């Protein structure tokens, strides 16, 4: 049994697809980015903090999996630089519209860090996917925002949304953009003896 330290429905679905039995315990951590903290260091720190916060609440030793995802709009689209800006979950419709407008026809990075803790393993990894958005119209953005879908998503979008379908191209893991890089997580779970 794995303890998933995340309340994300997308992470629950992806972990279930791996055939892993799990229980959800929502972590309670401060998700504020520290001053000067680079995006990848930030997301790695959050995944570790979430895993350790949940592990501390358990009476018995269990395998804990925590993850966090950020969308990074980099000044240099070839890679992540110090000027990379994290696009979090939008606070309101106006912010969602603005984020989607900024992302339109541009490439950005989706980084998910995950931490796996067990008696014998303490592992943190991150996976980077380069995502290029299509040239959707302002009317498409408005309809998508009105649907309410963007409000619990980093960067204000779901790659898997069947109507808006915002992505033109990606390089890397599709599931990473959904919220959990299942290929890398499965490998880590095999190392922990959870998957055969």
Provide the annotated active-site residues: 68
Residue 196 to residue 180: CA distance in whole angstroms: 19
β-strands 107-117, 85-87 pairing: unpaired
Buried/exposed 30-69: b ≥16 CB within 10 Å, e otherwise:
eeebeeeebbbebbbbbbbbbbbbbbeeeeeebbbbbbbb
What count of Cα atoms within 13 Å lies in the side-chain half-sphere of residue 34? 9
Phi, psi torsion values for 174, nearest 5 degrees: -65, -45
Residue 34 to residue 11: CA distance in whole angstroms: 25
């Amino acid at each position: 049994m794995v303890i998933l330290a995340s309340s994300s429905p997308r992470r629950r679905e992806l972990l279930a697809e791996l055939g892993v039995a799990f229980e959800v315990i929502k972590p309670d951590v401060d998700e504020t980015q520290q001053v000067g903290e680079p995006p990848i260091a930030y997301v790695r720190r959050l995944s570790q903090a979430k895993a350790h916060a949940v592990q501390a609440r358990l009476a018995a030793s269990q395998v804990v999996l925590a993850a966090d995802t950020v969308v990074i709009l980099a000044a240099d689209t070839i890679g992540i630089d110090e000027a990379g800006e994290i696009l979090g979950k939008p606070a309101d419709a106006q912010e969602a519209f603005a984020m989607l407008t900024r992302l339109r026809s541009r490439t950005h990075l989706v980084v998910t860090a995950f931490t796996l803790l067990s008696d014998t393993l303490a592992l943190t990894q991150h996976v980077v996917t380069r995502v290029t958005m299509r040239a959707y119209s302002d009317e498409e953005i408005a309809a998508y925002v009105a649907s309410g879908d963007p409000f619990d998503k980093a960067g204000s979008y779901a790659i898997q949304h069947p109507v808006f379908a915002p992505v033109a191209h990606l390089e890397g893991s599709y599931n990473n953009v959904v919220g959990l890089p299942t290929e890398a997580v499965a490998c880590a779970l095999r190392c922990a003896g959870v998957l055969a």
